[in-house]
Structure 1
Amino acid sequence: MKIVFLDADTVGEDIDLSIFEKFGEFQKFPYTEREEVFDRVKDVDVVITNKVIIDRDVIDSADKLKLICVAATGVNNIDISYAKVKGIGVTNVAGYSTESVVQHTFGMVFYLLHRLRYYDDYVKKGDYSKSKIFTHISNPFYELNGKTWGIIGLGTIGRRVGQVAESFGCEVIYFSTSGVERDEKYEKYPLDELLKVSDIVSIHAPLNERTRNLLTYEKIKMMKRSAVLLNLGRGGIVNEDDLAKALDEGLILGAGLDVLEKEPIDLENPLLKIKNKDSLLITPHIAWTSIEARRKLIKEIAENIKAFLEGKERNRVDL
């Protein structure tokens, strides 16, 4: 059997992929451009892809293809319905990065809330060495204890964020982006009310017709000036032009983004040109990438291949 990983660099060079060699001939490519994908899948039985698009044309060019393994939870880059028509299995991996994303969420909170960039620079630039007292409190920060944490998108990650926020003494509330009624531990709020009362707002929702452009300038304007906004869901949920404007106007204390509408970021993105750079933290879509999460991801993909070869259903994606 032949297996190909089309964009192996997306899981990092520090992750051992030799586990796939036990299933047959394994080949990996750092990345695959659109014009390269057809040649690379034409002879293989199993394709592993993180972001490379496997659409109808690609599927038609892969005569031997039996299984598509998505190295992620989202499968929007796969034409699932056509794969089903062609009898090709599609699997994904869910839940592997929950702890990593939650940890990154709180890393962002502390960076912004505690003004860590400012204080680190204060010491390293030599200003602290000139101080006449042992401390420096000209840039005040806040405690999480007693604050209201509003979660947009209370899925697996959102619930875990809520649990950790509670351990810091926060009151947790949420807004449902799906509109589905569920019996949840936390109180459900309309979006506008959640934005008005929350000290921290974190987004852990998918991008769809209900969430696209969910937070605009007018919505951000409803938030407290001391509030922190975090997006660890998907780019496009927060309007980036509006966020840049809101930060420059000091409408909120700060924002942390791990996802952007266009990835990698466009050099003309207004977020790169804001005046108060200390109010914004952007990381390059890394919340999911702890070593533990990536190792678990690869192990789960291998288990999906093993189950498929044994004729078992495991993490199968169906319409």
Structure 2
Amino acid sequence: MSAAPKIVFLDAASVDKLPTYDKFNELGEFTSYARTASAEFMEHATGAQVLITNKIELTAERIEQLPDLRLICVAATGTNNVDKDAAKARNIPVRNVSGYSTDSVAQLTMTALFAVAMDLIYLNRAVYEGHYGKAKDFTFWRHPFYELGGARFGIIGMGTIGRRVAELATAYGAKVVYYSSRGHDHDVPYPRAELDELLETCEVISIHCALTDDTRNLLGYAELKKMKPSAYLVNMARGGIVDEAALVRALNEDRIAGAAIDVFTEEPLPDDHVYLTVRDQHRLLLTPHVAWASVEARTRLIEGIMDNIRQGWE
């Protein structure tokens, strides 16, 4: 492959306003679409030699209908939206971008934990709405909060992001332990524990593993009941790892102190989602799948995609 390729980005809405985005034009004939509906797929993808997808599924049927396709670039770490067997049968490489969002996800992990555990959203409103102004003392809070130093901090998934979160938690003085769904010991200075021990002993459970057959619904009601009533759950990984209805039940029954969730089984969140029925909203902090999306992370993502195109088109 030598001539400049025809490149199509199917769903570029999350990155197309960054300054580095225009550099795609230097790599070939570049076309991008903010979004691609199912009915628009063939219109947008036909003729592409390099296809970039974030969430759009490239099924075997779709790949077979694209005779010009020579390279698939996934604008993410995971490649589960591509039928890799179908691509391999056509000798089409599938390239992802790993590690681009590590610091961004780790940053929101700690921020979200502190926001829910320290009741910061309520306290902010209390000042603006005058509750603090009417207080009899110089200080004001609704419920006590605790320091992270000395607390046992459990991480599910000790990959790149899990390790970065472990470093940040350790900087606060937390005692990090981790669980590996595959039973692997990682080369890290933290002890590995079985899931039950992690749930039963930790003040924080932070999820950073991939969604696989082994981790789907890893935490159901039976597992959440094993957590300490003072513990917090943070999920910045994938929605399907936590049984969402079970989490609401656990919160409503005061089984755990609170949770911070950035990912959902259905995205965007539907109006009738079970999370929206939680009794005490201040105990369930919801953010719209934004942990990955710092400007720096999205810039690294774009640069990684461009590198993959350069390497794949040599």
TM-score, length-normalised on structure 2?
A: 0.95
Counterpart residue number, 2:23? 19
**Deviation for aligned residue 1:180:** 2.5
**Deviation for aligned residue 1:132:** 3.0
3-state SS of paired residue (1:186): coil
**Superposition map of 1:1-319 within 5 A:** 1-11=5-15, 13-14=17-18, 16-310=20-314
* Runs (5+) with no aligned partner, structure 2: none
**Deviation for aligned residue 1:63:** 1.6
**Deviation for aligned residue 1:283:** 0.9
Question: What amino acid maps onto 2:100 in structure 1?
Answer: Y
* Runs (5+) with no aligned partner, structure 1: 311-319
Between the two proteins, what is the percent identity of the paired residues? 45
3-state SS of paired residue (2:143): coil
CA contact (8 A) 1:173 1:186 kept: yes
**In 1, distance between residues paired with 2:16 and 2:254?**
37
Aligned pairs, how many? 310
Question: What amino acid maps onto 2:87 in structure 1?
Answer: A
| Residue-by-residue CA offset, 1:218-252 (whole Å, 9 max, x unaligned) | 21111111110011111111111110011111111
CA contact (8 A) 1:15 1:294 kept: no
CA contact (8 A) 1:152 1:175 kept: yes
| Residue-by-residue CA offset, 1:43-67 (whole Å, 9 max, x unaligned) | 1111111011111221122121111
**In 2, distance between residues paired with 1:267 and 1:157?**
30
CA contact (8 A) 1:101 1:287 kept: yes
3-state SS of paired residue (1:295): helix
Which stretch has the larger CA shift, 63-72 or 16-25? 16-25
3-state SS of paired residue (1:69): strand
Question: What amino acid maps onto 1:254 in structure 2?
Answer: G
**In 1, distance between residues paired with 2:150 and 2:312?**
49
| Residue-by-residue CA offset, 1:15-69 (whole Å, 9 max, x unaligned) | 5421110122111101001121112111111111101111122112212111111
* Distance 1:229-1:147 versus aligned 2 partners, 3 A rule: same
**In 1, distance between residues paired with 2:59 and 2:220?**
33
TM-score, length-normalised on structure 1?
A: 0.94
3-state SS of paired residue (1:174): strand
Runs of 4+ in structure 1 off by over 2 angstroms are: 10-16, 180-184
**Deviation for aligned residue 1:14:** 3.9
RMSD: 1.3
**In 2, distance between residues paired with 1:130 and 1:107?**
29
* Distance 1:114-1:12 versus aligned 2 partners, 3 A rule: farther
3-state SS of paired residue (1:236): helix
* Distance 1:145-1:182 versus aligned 2 partners, 3 A rule: closer
**In 2, distance between residues paired with 1:78 and 1:240?**
26
Question: What amino acid maps onto 2:73 in structure 1?
Answer: C
Question: What amino acid maps onto 2:278 in structure 1?
Answer: I
**In 2, distance between residues paired with 1:147 and 1:182?**
22
**In 2, distance between residues paired with 1:183 and 1:89?**
30
Question: What amino acid maps onto 1:276 in structure 2?
Answer: D
**In 1, distance between residues paired with 2:48 and 2:6?**
5
CA contact (8 A) 2:100 2:297 kept: yes
3-state SS of paired residue (1:188): coil
**Deviation for aligned residue 1:183:** 4.1
CA contact (8 A) 1:10 1:50 kept: no
Question: What amino acid maps onto 1:173 in structure 2?
Answer: V
CA contact (8 A) 2:6 2:50 kept: yes
3-state SS of paired residue (1:210): coil
